[in-house]
Homo-oligomer: A and B are copies of this chain.
Amino acid sequence: MSRTPSADALAVFHALPVTVDVVALTVRDGVLCVLLIRRLLPPFEGRLALPGGFMMRGEGLGDAARRELTEETGVDPVPGHLEQLASYGPGGRDPRGDVLTVAHLVMAPDFPVIAAGGDAAEAAWHPVSTVQGALAFDHDLILADGVERARAKLEYSPLAAAFCGSEFTIAQIRGVYEAVWGVRLDPRNFHRKATGAVGFLEETGQVSSGDAGRPAALYRLAPQSRQGDGPTTAAVLNPPIMRPASSPAS
């Protein structure tokens, strides 16, 4: 297939419609939830789907993902907490024809969904376990990949704090790990690991109020100094907080 670009025109090449989709995850009442919209228009009219839509001219991938998320759900992700997940397509995923989609992943605290707009109605958080298999397009696959990525990232990055507010207790952040991984962790050993990881938590001096039992110290995420030697290296948790080895296939 010899292709001979006659000049500096790219128009001779096959061009594709490109969308961005967003897997926005949070933890509500100890349950891992994903932000979904209900589609107003065909295809898959009335079905649940990830927020997303077509890219606009002159936009970057991350910009488009942030714009679609805000347009359709009212959620405005904290900068730095949106990362690229993977690309899907272009064939076999939209009945209208070939569409390439670049999926993104956002971890957000459980703030209320402000609005639904654009092609979307009913933007809302749904427990991940209740929507698997029910989504439009290939969004079930994308959601599964996003959840797996989030699970893996908890181990070696300070990402879990993104699910909490700006100040949180050790028990709250432990609840994030338990919800995302679907396991129970020993509160006492977790406390040691979390407070022992360098560059993860920073004491505020405050204590939590209200609940039964002894008040817990409040922490915030420590200022993230990028480690490693590459420009693409993200902040790293050291030592990592590993998920328990799942028992061999039963």
Interface residues of A (CB under 8 A from B): 1-5, 8-10, 13-18, 41-43, 53-61, 67, 71, 84, 86-87, 89-91, 94-100, 102, 118-119, 141, 144-145, 148, 227, 230-233, 238, 245, 249
User: A232 touching B141 by the CB < 8 A rule?
Assistant: yes
Residue of B nearest to A18 (CB): B16
Q: Which residues of B contact A94 (CB under 8 A)?
A: 10
Expressed in whole angstroms, the minimum distance between the Cβ of A38 and any Cβ of chain B is 17
One complex includes copies of this chain to the number of 2
Residues A8 and B96 in contact in the complex (CB < 8 Å), given A1-B56, A13-B17, A15-B17: yes
- A18, A41, A43, A71: most-surrounded residue (chain B CB, <10 A): A18
- A91, A227, A238: most-surrounded residue (chain B CB, <10 A): A91
Residue of B nearest to A20 (CB): B87
**Could you list 17 further interchain pairs (A-B, Cβ under 8 angstroms) beyond the known A8-B97, A18-B100?**
A1-B56, A1-B67, A1-B71, A3-B118, A3-B119, A5-B41, A8-B95, A10-B98, A14-B55, A55-B90, A57-B98, A60-B91, A61-B87, A84-B87, A87-B102, A148-B230, A227-B249
